[in-house]
Structures are given as C-alpha cells and as structure tokens.
A and B are shown apart, each in its own frame.
Chain A
Amino acid sequence: MEIYSSKPLLALLASFLGAILIVAAGKKPNLREGCSIAAGLLQLVIIVSMIPPVLDGGSFHFILSAFLPQVAIAFRVDALALLFAATASFLWIVTTIYSIGYMRLHGEANQTRFYASVALTLTATVGIAFSANLFTLYLFYEALTFSTYPLVTHTGTEEAYAAGKRYIAYHLGTSIAFLLPAIILTYVLSGTFDFRPGGVFPSAANTTVLVILYFAFVAGAAKAALVPFHAWLPAAMVAPVPVSSLLHAVAVVNAGVFLIYRVILHVFGLDLFHRLNLGIATAVLASITVMLASFYALRLDNLKALLAYSTIGQLAYMILGASIPNQNGMTGGLIHLVNHSFSKITLFFAAGSILLASHKTKISELAGLGRFLPWTFAALTIGSLSIIGIPPAAGFVTKYFLAIGSIQAGWLVVFFVLLVSTLLSAAYYLRVIRTAFFGAPQENVSHPISEISYFIIAPMILTAAISILLGILPTLLLPLVRLALR
C-alpha cells in the first residue's frame, strides 16, 4: 500500500523551521531552547504517526520537485527510514534538554548558532532517512556535512579548526570522489536513481564494474568510519559533549551506516550482493575495523577518545551484520543502529557530566568519583554493559543475533572476531568502571564534587533506562527491523 502524503516533507520542515525560529529567538535563551524542543517534539510526532501504517505494510511517498528529467527530489518512508529517523529525532529532544544544562554550565559561546546548526543537522539526517532515491540522499548527505561543520569547530580554537578541516576533507573528499560517481554510475548501469526492494541492476550488468561500484559506495560512506576512512571521528571529539553525542551516536555516523544498508538492500539487493561475494568482502573490512578499533581503544586514557574508538568498532558491528547472509545476522546489525545510539549517547552524556562536575577528562583521574557522582556513574555503567553486550542491556540483543547469524552462516571467523572484540571492549570499559568505583579517591579533591544539574541527570537516566528496556523487550523494535530487511 503506497500512501502519497506530505508527512515526510512536514517532518523535515519541522526541524528546518525550528532552525529559523531558533535564530529569531536568539536573544532569549529560554524561548530559543523552547523552540528547539517544540520543533523536536513536532518532528517526532510526525515521524511516529507514520509507524503504524508502515507496520501494516504501507509506505509514504512524496515528490518535492523534478530536478532534471528522470531525477526528482523525492521522499519515501519505509521501515528502514523510520528506524533511523525516529531514533535521531527522539535523541535530538533528549540532547537538547541535556544541552540546556551543559552549554549554560560550561559557559559555551555562540549558543544560538549551536542550536540552529543542530536543527539543520536533524533536517539533513531525516532527509537522508526519507530519501526515495540516491540523488536526494546525496543532497542531504552533503547538507549534513555542512550543517555539522559549525558544530565540530564550535569552540573556535586552533585545534577545533584543524579538526574541522579534517572533517570537511574526509566527508567532502570522499563524497565527491566516490559517492557522486557511484551514484551516476548506478544510473548509467540501471537507468534509475530510485531505491527498489531487491535492487535495481539488470542481470546482464558487468560484475567487475558492480564490484568496483560497491566499493565506491562504501568509500563514499565515510560517515560510517570504516577503516581507512575513520580518522575524522576521533579528531572531531574536540567539539563540546552534546555535539559529540549527537554526531557520534546519532546523526552523522548512523547516516553512513544507513547509506550502506540502503545500498545493500535497495540498490544491489541481497541476491546480487551475495552472488558477487560482496558480503564476505564487507565482513573482512568490518572485522578489520572492529579489531583495530578495539585494540587501539585499550591504550587510551582520555575518556572521550575511548568513546570515539569504541564508536568506530560499534559502527563496524552494524556493517558486519549487514554482510552476514541471513536474517539473524542482518537483524543484529540493524537493531544495533538503535541500541548503540541509546547506549553510546548515555556514555557521552556521562562523560560530559563528569567533565562539568569534576573537570576531569582522563580515565586515570576518575578514581573514586563513583561515590560522588552516583547517577552519572550508574548511567555510565549501564551504557558500558550495553556496549560490551551483557544482558539485560540492549547490546546483548545485538550480540545474540550477530552470533547466531555468523554461526548459521558458518562464518566462524566472524564469530571469533565478535568474541575477541567483546572481551576487549569489556577490558577497556570495565577499567573505567573499576577505577571510578573502586579506585582510591585522589587526595587533593578540595572542593566537594557532586551531581551538577537535573538537566544533565534526567536525559542520562532516560537513555540509560531505554538501553535496559530495549534489552528486555527487543520485540519493541523487531517488527520494524524485520520489515526493513524483508
């Protein structure tokens, strides 16, 4: 059942007009942040209202305008789009609430620019999710790069500009060099830019060209931070904590993973994808990324850097899932897009809370802080357990499906990678928890350290709770995930 509706456009307009209102209300912080939350709620309501019809097997369509003959800026909302968009939109609201506490307490400058850029980032993110064809997706993909640039360089320091330069170079460089030609080549081979279930290529297409094309797509999706296109991610950590949480847990990185899922499912189609042995190639690439990121994270002492490298590894899990040739594996990968978002954003929130309360950024300095910041470290523990994959946290569901899928496929090497990387992530996350709860407090703690604001605690506890909820009730997501993979 195809529903022609302007809802997809309205969802984009909610955040876009939100950005304009935010700028207009720039002089009054309370009103400005109010606009941001209102826009987020409106967007979330519109997106959620599309879930029931999609669960009934429908999809929403909207054509905005014809750009060139046979090339339209058009939207199509299916289960895959909703998983991504709903997660991003929900977490935008949570991040805004967290930002109110963080940005004010941390005395950040240019807050209007911050909130406006975040609203534009969400517009681009939802645009990517709702794109009906590769062309529309490319437009929003570039828009995402430019709307996040002011966020990465927010602090205005030399380091921030250097990170911003690297950020632009990686994203713009790869999208122009690989994604754009890949999109055009797809059109040349198939005669369409549209996403179609089961793929678009005629059976006569040259297999060598198709293989090259696939890798051009993967290289073009630098936002997914697969090795060797990962270096922008740790560099971008110079941004304020709310930016990192939004970029590295929700919008940007998920956009990269989403693109790869779209390409596998709706450009190549699973049949062709596995017939060309691209699944195995992707699994190798993702496994290398998982292992390198895990080993690298082991020796890091900076908490945010650790989270960055952990993110690289976790993103690779999602792509690993996509490469496994059965339903269970792919379910594990796709459900991790949501699970990881909630768990990782909890960890970022906690890192920000620690920074605000104690001005500490290094793991070795956290000794004994657990007793002063109980909420923060409770959240951090839940987030860590989820990322490691310990029940009942959400990450366990991911690992469960991935493990089952890899065994079913007979890919024992992938199973082994999962095992080792789980142990490694346990090693580096448990180190944080152990230091915080069981380490001896440093003696020169002169001022009392305590939880700093409800604006910080509430969002953190909420996302931590959802991380547990998704672990206990994966059935909340599974219908949508199954539908997306069909």
Chain B
Amino acid sequence: MNLAEIFAAQQIGFPILSTLIFLPIALAILVNFLKTDHLARWVALLGALAVLVLALVMTCAFIPGVSHLQFAERIGWISTVGITYHIGVDGISVLFVPLTAFLSVVVILVSWNSVRFLVKPYLAAVLAFEAMVIGVFVTLDLFVFFIFWELMLVPSYFLIKLWGGGPDRQRAGTKYVMYMLSGSAPMLIGIILLGVNYNNVTGGSGATPSYSFDFPTLLSVPIAPGLQTLIFFLLAFGFAVKGPLFPFHTWMPTTLLEGPAGMGVFLVGIKLGVYGFIRFVIPLLPIASARWLWLMVVLGVFASLYGALIAMAQPNLRRLLAFASISHVGLAILGLFSLNQQGIQGGIIMIINLGFVSAGLFMLAAILHERVGSSELSAFGGLARQAPLLGTFFFLFGMAVIGLPITSGFTGEFLILQGAFLLHPAPASVAVLGVVLSAAYLLVYYERAFFGPVTRSIVKTLPDLRSREAVVAAALFLPILWIGVYPAPLLHVTGASVQAVVERVKDAPLTAFRLSKEK
C-alpha cells in the first residue's frame, strides 16, 4: 500500500484542509466578542455555511478513482520525536469532512430557539467541536490525530454539562469524559508503540532516534505479528469505546438522554470510532486484523442484534435512537472486518448514512421535545394526524434506519451483507436478524407514536413543521435519497482507497514475512 501524495499547493493553490480546521476555531473565538446573541447565531450559521461550502469545494476538487492522499500539507513540528503536522484526505476520509460541516450547520439550526442562555459559549463550543472533528478526519500523523481526538472532549464536556436537557446532565458529562479517557489512554500507548517499532526497524539508536508517527511512513515498515496483536487491541479498545461497539457502549444512551439535542446529532451522526478502524487499525495492522477478524465480526453481529433488541423495549425516543445507532455500528464493523471491497465500502456508506439519518431523527426528536415537552412514547400518539409533515419525514428517515430500498441505508446494508456473505454465510445470516429487528422496533414505535387516537391535549394543538424546519429536513433527506438511488459517484470516490486497503490486507502475511526475512 503505497500512498502517493498530491499537495494542496499544486491541487488547489491554498491549504484548504488547514482552513477547514482553523476557520471554525476562528469563528468560535469571534462569536464570543459579538454584541447580541442574535448576531452571534447568524455569524455562527453563516460561518458554518462557509465551512460547508469550502468542504464541498474540496470534495468536488477531489480526484476520484485514485488512492492518492490529496490536498496534503506537511510541516515539521517536533522533529526530535518525529511529530509532523501532516494532513490530507483520500477516498476513505474525504466524505466525512463535508458530512461534519453539514451536521454542524444542522446543529446550529436545531438549537436556534432551544438554547436560550449562554448562547455565545454554546455556539463557540459547537464550532470548536466541528474544528476538532474535521482535524481528526484529515490528520495523517497519529500523534496530532491523538491531540485532536482528546481536545474534542473539552467542548463536548461543556456541551453536555451546561446545555444538556436532562436532570442528570452533570453526571452524564463526567461519565462521558471518563469513558473517553479510559479508551484513549490505551490508544496512546498503542500509538507510541507504533513509533517505537518504527525506530527499532529503521535502526535509530538512543543518540540519534528516528521516531515517526506519520501514517504513510508507518505503512512502509513491517510490524511483527505479536506486536501487531498487542497494538491492535490497544487501538481497538479506544476506537470501540468511541464507536461505541458493544460492550463499551453504556455511555451513549446516558449522554444522548441528558445531553443537548445537538450533541446527539454529533455523537450518533459522526462515527469516529468506526472511522478509526478503517483509517488506521486495518491498514497499519493487517496481520492482526486478519487474525482477529472473527472477534470483531462476532462483536459486530452481536452488537447489531443486541442494540436492536434493546431498542425494541425503549419508550424514550432518544434512547431508542441511541440503541439503534449501537446496532448500526455493529453492522458497520461487520462490513469493515469482512475485509473485502463490498464490506468496507458498505461500512463507510453505512456511517455516512447514519450521519444524515441521525441528524434528521434527532432534529425531529428535538422539535417534538420542544413542543410536547417529552420524548416519552406515553406523551405521543396520533402525531401523524396533527403534524403530517413531521410524520412523513420521520417515516422517510425511519426507512433509512431500516434500510429500505431507495434510501442510503439500503445501499449500505446491501453492500455490508454482500461483503459479509462473501466472508462467511453464518455471521451474515445472523446479522440479517438485526436488520429484521430494526424494522420491528422502528415500525412499532412509529405506529404507536404517530398513529392511533390522540390522547393528550397538547398533541391536539401540536403545530406541524415550520417551513424552516421542513427545509432542513428535506435537505437532510436529499443525500439519503441520492445515495439510495444513485450511489455510483460515492463508490467511485471511495473505491480506489478501499481497494488499496483490501489488497494490503490480502498481501499482508507475505509482505510482512518477506520484509522480516530481508532484514
């Protein structure tokens, strides 16, 4: 797997990825100095839209069909330990940048009216979070990656603690940070081990060490199978907690229930943990990935069943969506660890699908919460009669959760199942049950909440989606429909990079042993 690079200066003329990271940071600082909350909202929205436009420009300028790292920038930083500011995107990461930018706009819109106090710090936290997430997606140096990964916790901690909707938000914020830190500590050890291994292989000594944390550089040195397994488990633990992959998922429902609606969009919509597996774990540790794929497949299949089963029993819409997302992460992991073209592409499409779907559903849940005063099923009933637009959009997003044709959920699930069946029919057949259950929990919830008699007086006066909300919902559904009907461009963008990963895993044992023999 040889990742050639096209530098940003040649490709587009200016450091576009750095702009995408630092523009939101600048905005986050700027909004604090604005006079009124109203102005701050508009500046934040227009700024987030500018980031989105820039991200879309970047996606359009991206050259599909090659596995090169594009828009790359490389600046030496702490050269004694080999840390560089090295960023760039390839087919695996490029789509997540516009997704993050898009969801940030949605988060700002969703909280337009619902966040009423400390508006400026709230917007600053959202924009800072956006910057860190984009940083995570574009960084190629594992050390810098880790810095963005950890800095993400700061805005999210305050988002949950200060603007959370639940009574227990203080504890939820602490729980979230504790979970994340316990996941990232082993990850850091894993990253350091990668650097140390590089030093050992390239023959650096105590006096002239040659550390590197650079992803393309690390790809070029072999890692002994035993060490691979160790690093695999260290990294996998961190990514599984973030995923969240069963059994490290328990922070998720609490955080979604207690945190602000916008946080839900980010946490469910952006699957950093899953991204970590496909970006770093599988390419860097191909032997361990192939050796332990059975474990990941079992965990993935189990998570897809477990999440769906628990979701069936949830009367609270936010908790239902949390467990639905745990179930879908399981499916995505199953796809990735099928270690073939279809499975990995399906996994990527699945997490992109989750971004749009969860943003849509959390937005609707937030609107319902605002107007009915609860997310509990007992407060709903007959919603569709009162608010037909809301009901229609909920159903459309629900279709993508189930994975029905013409939605992106179908494309993702179809590819994942195809990949999984190519791997082995047994886990694939069990995973199908998770898909069936997703139809069950979603349609049952939909029927109870949206059909039937109206029992509560507040539902009788429920206003339907306002035009602004309907436009956002439609904007979220459009990409779902597009990926569902015509996924070819997306597959073209991701195809070459995914193929490079697949080939690397396929050749892994051979390359590793040949290199170690040469040495």
Contacts and interface: CB of A to CB of B under 8 A. Distances in A.
Nearest to A212: B425
B373 interface: no
Contacts of B406: 139
Interface string B411-453: 1001101100110010011001101100110010001000110
Given A173-B436, A176-B439, 17 more contacts: A66-B488, A67-B411, A68-B415, A68-B491, A142-B404, A142-B405, A173-B440, A176-B432, A176-B436, A177-B436, A180-B417, A180-B432, A181-B421, A181-B428, A184-B428, A187-B421, A209-B425
Nearest to A181: B432
Contacts of A165: 447
Contacts of A69: 491
B47 interface: no
Given A65-B486, A66-B488, A187 B418 contact: yes
B405 A138 contact: yes
B404 A188 contact: no
B487 interface: yes
B444 to A, nearest CB: 9
A295 interface: no
A65 B484 CA distance: 13
A188 B432 contact: no
Given A65-B486, A68-B491, A139 B405 contact: yes
A161 interface: yes
Contacts of B414: 68, 180, 184
B405 A68 contact: no
B429 A181 contact: yes
Interface in A129-155: 138-139, 142-143, 146
Interface residues of A, number: 25
A452 interface: no
Interface in A107-163: 138-139, 142-143, 146, 161
A271 B429 CA distance: 27
A10 interface: no
B405 A188 contact: no
B418 A184 contact: yes
Contacts of B422: 188
A378 interface: no
Nearest to A185: B421
Q: How large is the interface on B (under 10, 10 to 19, 20 to 34, 35 or more residues)?
A: 20 to 34
29 contacts: A66-B488, A67-B487, A67-B488, A68-B487, A138-B405, A139-B405, A139-B406, A142-B404, A161-B451, A161-B452, A165-B447, A169-B440, A173-B436, A173-B440, A176-B403, A176-B432, A177-B432, A177-B433, A177-B436, A180-B432, A180-B435, A181-B421, A181-B428, A181-B429, A184-B418, A184-B421, A188-B418, A188-B421, A188-B425
A211 interface: no
A176 B401 CA distance: 13
A472 interface: no
A168 interface: yes
Interface string A160-199: 0100010011001100110011001101100000000000
A55 to B, nearest CB: 33
A143 B406 CA distance: 10
Interface in B46-65: none
A42 B457 CA distance: 49
Interface string B205-232: 0000000000000000000000000000
Interface string B396-411: 0000001111100001
A66 B404 CA distance: 18
Contacts, number: 64
A370 B411 CA distance: 56
A169 B443 CA distance: 9
Contacts of A161: 447, 451-452
A139 B435 CA distance: 16
Contacts of B488: 66-68
A181 B436 contact: no
Contacts of B428: 181, 184
Given A177-B432, A180-B432, A172 B415 contact: no
A34 to B, nearest CB: 28
A143 B429 CA distance: 23
A176 B331 CA distance: 15
Contacts of A168: 443
Contacts of A173: 436, 439-440
A234 B405 CA distance: 27
Contacts of B415: 68
Given A68-B487, A142-B405, A161-B451, A181 B417 contact: yes
A187 B447 CA distance: 35
B153 to A, nearest CB: 38
A66 B435 CA distance: 24
A76 B411 CA distance: 23
Contacts of B418: 184, 187-188
Interface in B147-200: none
Contacts of A177: 432-433, 435-436
A149 to B, nearest CB: 11
A176 B486 contact: no
Contact of B435 (A65, A169, A176): A176
A69 B421 CA distance: 17
A146 B425 CA distance: 29
Contacts of A65: 486
Contacts of A184: 414, 417-418, 421, 428
Contacts of A181: 417, 421, 428-429, 432
Nearest to B417: A184
A168 B435 CA distance: 15
Contacts of A66: 488
A188 B414 CA distance: 13
A176 B439 CA distance: 9
Contacts of A176: 402-403, 432, 435-436, 439
Contacts of B487: 67-68
Nearest to B432: A181
Contacts of B404: 142, 146
Residue from A173, A176, A177 having most chain B Cβ neighbours under 10 A:
A176
Nearest to A143: B405
B425 A172 contact: no
A172 B432 CA distance: 13
Contacts of A138: 405
Nearest to A178: B432
A180 B486 CA distance: 19
A181 B422 CA distance: 12
B432 A185 contact: no
Contacts of B436: 173, 176-177
Interface string B69-81: 0000000000000
Nearest to B399: A146
B33 to A, nearest CB: 50
Contacts of A68: 411, 414-415, 487-488, 491
B217 to A, nearest CB: 32
B278 to A, nearest CB: 19
Contacts of A209: 425
B165 to A, nearest CB: 32
Contacts of B440: 169, 173
A110 to B, nearest CB: 13
A180 B413 CA distance: 10
